[in-house]
Chains A and B, each alone.
Chain A
Amino acid sequence: MNKPMKPDPTFHASPILAMRAPVENFAFTIMLGKDTSHHDGLAVIDLRKDSKTYGEIVHQVIAPTIGDEFHHFGWNACSSSLSPLSGHAFLERRYLIVPGIRSSRIYIFDVKDPLKAKIHKVIEPEEVFEKTGYSRPHTIHCGPEGIYVSTLGGSGEDGTDSPPGIFIMDCETFDIIGIYELDRGEQDKHYDFWWNLPQNYMVSSEWGLPPQFENGVVPEDLVGGKYGHKIHFWDLRARKNIQTIDLGENYQMALEIRPAHDPTKSYGFCGAVADNTNLQGAVFTWWRDEDGKWQAKKTIAIDPRPEDPEDLPEIIKGFGAVPVLITDIDLSLDDKYLYVACWGIGEMHQYDVSDPFNPVLAGKVELGGIAKETKHPNGKDFVYGPQMVEVSRDGKRVYWTNSLYSTWDDQFYPHQEGGQMVMANVGENGGLTIDPDFYVNFPENMRAHQIRLEGGDCSTDSFCYPSV
């Protein structure tokens, strides 16, 4: 492979340099077939304000297989390449690694020319199983040793014969190298992970094992506190779990891990989908204290909305209220605003987290939601609720879509079908306003999942130099 003479222009030494870089021209959004008889794909959306096709899907790549369930995905290379320690300064940010969490198949898309994006390589499930003993690949981050892939399942038919974990892929050939963990401690479930490269720590979270999500949420497990509720702290390069924090058995499904982007900071956030005692949604702040021990405490709690059981889907009829369901959170590059997607009640919240221990609600919009179904300002439907959220590098635009996971969409929103991507503008001093002119309606039978912005965004890039 011939490498460029200079680092990729989308690699930035510090978060502040990334914020000042040119704005995004395209978004890459996952198209999820509505069920296992439909193909998944990648949509390329035009974000150039002066373009005739602004806000439209200008290119699609459809996977030839079915039943993959594309979910989260990530880049082959990011700003972390600018550390001499990585030795990868001359990689191109060019490939999107897109795992299917249902099939365990991994697609590599070449998006060098967004309008001609194409499939570059396919890694078959058998290769993942054989080389790692893991299944259901999920989160992607590029890091010191290559591309790190978290998985939700271990070995065996239903992925429960052994614990899930992280495996590493070569960042040029995309060959699977092997598993990451040398000592996983008490980690037995998995979901998200992210890190601070200079400080050499990694944090990982827990959703649940495959039988707990593949055919829909299992109410008994949720009520019984059987979903994940711990976060794990790792010595990143020694590959060892150094500490596990139990958030509390009632905080079911600890999902997104969002460390502060500035590598001098030793804190971050984690969203917990549902408190099974009161249906609240919670966000925890985790941090390293003066003694070097990791701590976590709940810093955001959002109340459920009481609702006539008549209007509720079967799965939550008994509660007489709509659970908040915090399914995604995202932190702006200046570490100032945390966006919290409330998929159940149909709201997107913006918190000022300048003081990470005292988040202050700075903005909020309503869209979709169970038994509420708030329409978009343009009068059109927004099915389900605000879900995968992505923030532009400059922090001025917030994009989101609405599908959570095919079988869960069907449980919580049984009468709805479709996929939309919308955008909200951020005010000078915070505040959130839905842009009436940006509304991407996905093709029939396609739902919309995670968004990646061309040139990197707020949940892809790790920085090795502080913002000064």
Chain B
Amino acid sequence: MAALWWAVILSGAYHGLNPGMGWPLAVSAALMERKAVAMPKALLLLTTGHLLAMIAILLPFSLMIWLIEREYEIRLIASFIVIGMGIYLLINSKHPRYLARIHPAKLGLWSFLSAIAHGAALMLVPIYLGICQIAEDNGSTENSGHLAAQNLMSNDLFTALGVSLVHTVSMGLAGAFLAILVYFWLGLKFISQAWFNLDKIWACSLILVGAFGLYFNGTH
């Protein structure tokens, strides 16, 4: 269980450190407005967008487990979706053009759509479903019957929000760390120097997480 929560935190840091998820925009905002206070504002918009993307993807899954009660199949399908997204991104490195049409001041909207388009939110699904499963396994020894199902539903919902929040806080802190470092000490040169092409690694991360989901499903 703890390992899965660590995965939530680490994936947040991974997303936050990736310049493609937006921290350079926070530096740019502070420099454009010539005041440092614009940076936390921009970071807040970016993380809010990211959080909403997480919730938008995880919430339907939490409802599905409750409504359909075929968790095994749902987890199987979810894993295949995540793997499929990874393979798609591996083959198609094109950046969706609609992201380029968003007004540069609408950072929250950009962050939201970007996290959806690049599968950032999807990456959390197998981890989230794993947490739900373990919670259920632990719970089933204590509870039984109708009451347990109700509890599980609200538990899954809270877990979805918890996973989204913990992931996004970690993402926001990691992004803020780099943004502050670049703004105050390292300078803009760091952006081109430290930006690594994560496209392939990112796609592989999705496949890996999806594969974990399949493995987990087989063992629980």
Contacts and interface: CB of A to CB of B under 8 A. Distances in A.
Interface of A: 1, 3-7, 9, 11-14, 17, 82-90, 144-146, 172, 177, 197-200, 237-238, 263-264, 464-466, 468
18 contacts: A11-B192, A13-B192, A82-B24, A82-B195, A83-B24, A84-B19, A87-B20, A87-B100, A89-B195, A144-B100, A145-B97, A177-B97, A197-B104, A200-B103, A237-B103, A237-B104, A465-B188, A466-B32
A5 B196 contact: yes
Given A144-B100, A145-B97, A172-B94, A84 B22 contact: yes
A13 B189 contact: yes
Interface in B99-118: 99-105, 110
B82 interface: no
Question: Considering the complex of A and B, which 6 residue pairs feature the smallest CB-CB distances, nearest first?
Answer: A87-B95, A144-B100, A13-B188, A145-B100, A466-B31, A5-B197
**Range for the number of chain B residues in contact with chain A:** 20 to 34
A90 B100 contact: no
Nearest to B22: A84
Nearest to B194: A6
Interface string B60-103: 00000000000000000000000000000000011111011111
B149 interface: no
B188 A17 contact: yes
Contacts of A468: 31, 188
A425 B78 CA distance: 64
Interface in B13-39: 19-22, 24-25, 27-28, 31-32, 34
Contacts of B191: 13, 82, 465
A144 B100 CA distance: 5
Contacts of A13: 188-189, 191-192
Nearest to B28: A465
A156 B189 CA distance: 49
Nearest to A263: B32
A87 B197 contact: no
Nearest to A90: B197
Contacts of A264: 31-32, 34
B136 interface: no
A85 B99 contact: yes
Contacts of A199: 104
B197 A86 contact: no
A175 to B, nearest CB: 11
A84 B93 contact: no
Contact of B97 (A85, A146, A466): A146
A162 to B, nearest CB: 24
A238 B101 CA distance: 7
